């Protein structure tokens, strides 16, 4: 596997040394922030336009729409869209709005079709977005069909994921957005050869940044998840890499504990860590010893105090394992259930209350510690995107 930066085993040993010394990688500074960032409609509008209207974000894993005509619909921060697999194997994101009088062309969340047919006056569109039929066109008059296709958003499939920029006038270049380091890291994971075995979305009354922050946070585990995640993973210990826009960190799992006293020598400790990647603007990719989890956080189109989180479990297909189909299914079902339980019972209640707290009129400013490195990167980079050019 290609290495980016220090070799992985070396980074794992750096985390182990931190664990032994009760330290972690840190920045030299703390960062201040304001509660208004999570409640102000004007800030939320700038975020939708300048962050999501200008940068690629992940909307799915390609395996969720494997066949031509497979589609799903989605509410992006700026556009309602249909993401659909093309006959040539590509993917398009189309604005889900009929060019006649603006009906929602596709109501289903997910499905497969040969064409999109509008429920209002039954105009129909090819899956590539082009307008196929104007009903009763002998009476309709001279509309230019070529200019009345569904509007297309810049879309690219790379590293197994479907990426969209939420603005029809923008362009997309995922490799350039990721930068050489993160692009090489994702390439090395061969995510396109894996499949998304579980996916679910959650609409929560919480600002998207509060949610994103919680899933870049290795500092809360012991306190918010004492009987669940904290049994498996250490709190506040990380070996961190800052790549500018994006970052990653290794956190030791509890299975590493036998090597706190003993020298592990040259053996691989890859099974004893979780590696977290932050992909600006709104995703956390977790690399576990035998699978990946992707978490994405999307602002609500109008309300700064709402967002949608999506969680996906991305795993090697059963043929690439030595498991029976039954065992493989059971393993991922169990894994998924554990994740859901922690989310619903522990993270969501805490974060909903946090959003409520942020609405206090006299809330003071708040602070990120030197140890909260990924949260600092998230703050620093979103601020850059929002800065006037
Ligand atoms: S609004 Fe779609 S056909 Fe009239
Ligand atoms: Fe958590």
pTM for the whole thing? 0.97
Q: Which residue in the block uniquely carries the two structure tokens 């994405």?
A: 296
Q: What is the pLDDT of residue 1?
A: 61
Look at ligand 1, atom 3, and give the residue with the nearest C-alpha: 121
Mean pLDDT of 140-148: 92
Helices (H), 249-292: 258-261
Distance 117 CA to ligand 1 centre (A): 9
Instruction: Reduce the DSSP state of residue 332 to 3 states and report it.
Output: helix
Instruction: Report how far residue 162's alpha carbon sits from residue 83's, in angstroms, rounded to the nearest whole number.
Output: 9
Is residue 258 a contact partner of residue 266, using CB atoms and an 8 Å limit?
Answer: no
Q: Which ligand is nearest to the CA of 349?
A: 2
Distance 104 CA to ligand 1 centre (A): 9
Instruction: Report how far residue 106's alpha carbon sits from residue 116's, in angstroms, rounded to the nearest whole number.
Output: 7
Q: Which ligand is nearest to the CA of 101?
A: 1
Q: 151-187: buried (b, 16+ CB within 10 Å) or exposed (e) per residue?
A: eebbbbbbbbbbbbbbbeeeebebbebbeebbbebbb
**Phi-psi region at 35: left, alpha or beta (left = phi > 0; alpha = psi -120 to 50):** alpha
Residues 6+ apart with CB under 8 A from 261: none
Domains of the chain: 8-55+173-386 (3.90.380.10), 59-156 (2.102.10.10)
| pLDDT above 80 for 21 | yes
Could you read off the pLDDT of 277-315 as tens digits, one per residue?
A: 999 999 999 999 999 999 999 999 999 999 999 999 999
Distance 48 CA to ligand 1 centre (A): 28
Dihedral sign of CA atoms 92, 93, 95, 96 in order: positive
Could you read off the pLDDT of 331-387 as tens digits, one per residue?
A: 999 999 999 999 999 999 999 999 999 999 999 999 999 999 999 999 999 999 999
Instruction: Report how far residue 131's alpha carbon sits from residue 24's, in angstroms, rounded to the nearest whole number.
Output: 57
Other beta carbons within 10 Å of 232:
13
Q: What is the pLDDT of residue 388?
A: 82
| pLDDT above 80 for 56 | yes
Which H/E stretch holds residue 162? strand 161-164
Q: State the closest ligand 1 atom to the C-alpha of 102, by its place in the atom list counted from 1.
A: 1
């Amino acid at each position: 596997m290609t290495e980016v930066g220090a070799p992985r085993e070396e980074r794992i040993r750096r985390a182990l040394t931190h664990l032994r010394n009760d330290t972690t990688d840190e920045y030299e500074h703390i960062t201040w922030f304001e509660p208004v960032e999570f409640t102000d409609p004007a800030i939320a509008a700038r975020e939708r336009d300048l962050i999501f209207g200008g940068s690629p974000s992940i909307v799915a894993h390609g395996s969720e729409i494997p066949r031509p005509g497979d589609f799903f619909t989605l509410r992006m921060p700026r556009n309602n869209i249909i993401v659909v697999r093309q006959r040539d194997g590509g993917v398009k994101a189309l604005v889900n709005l009929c060019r006649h009088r603006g009906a929602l062309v596709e109501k289903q969340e997910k499905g497969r079709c040969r064409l999109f047919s509008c429920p209002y006056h039954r105009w129909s569109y090819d899956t590539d977005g082009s307008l196929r039929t104007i009903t009763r066109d002998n009476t309709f008059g001279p509309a230019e069909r070529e200019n009345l296709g569904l509007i297309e958003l810049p879309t690219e499939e790379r590293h197994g994921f479907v990426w969209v920029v939420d603005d029809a006038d923008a362009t997309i270049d995922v490799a350039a957005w990721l930068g050489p380091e993160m692009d090489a890291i994702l390439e090395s994971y061969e995510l396109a050869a894996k499949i998304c075995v579980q996916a679910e979305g959650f609409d929560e009354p919480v600002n998207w940044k509060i949610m994103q922050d919680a899933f870049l946070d290795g500092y809360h585990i012991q306190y918010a998840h004492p009987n669940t995640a904290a049994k498996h993973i250490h709190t506040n210990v990380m070996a961190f890499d800052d790549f500018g826009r994006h970052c990653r960190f290794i956190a030791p799992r509890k299975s590493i504990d036998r090597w706190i006293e003993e020298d592990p020598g040259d053996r691989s400790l890859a099974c004893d860590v979780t590696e977290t990647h932050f992909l600006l603007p709104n995703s956390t990719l977790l690399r576990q010893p035998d699978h990946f989890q992707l978490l994405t956080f999307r602002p609500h189109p109008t309300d700064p105090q709402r967002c949608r989180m999506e969680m996906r479990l991305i795993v090697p297909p059963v043929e690439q394992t030595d498991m029976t189909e039954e065992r493989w299914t059971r393993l991922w079902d169990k894994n998924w259930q554990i994740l859901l339980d922690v989310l619903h019972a522990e993270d969501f209640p805490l974060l909903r209350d946090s959003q409520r707290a942020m609405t206090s009129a006299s809330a003071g400013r708040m602070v990120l510690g030197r140890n909260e490195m990924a949260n600092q990167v998230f703050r620093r980079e979103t601020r850059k995107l929002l800065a006037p050019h």
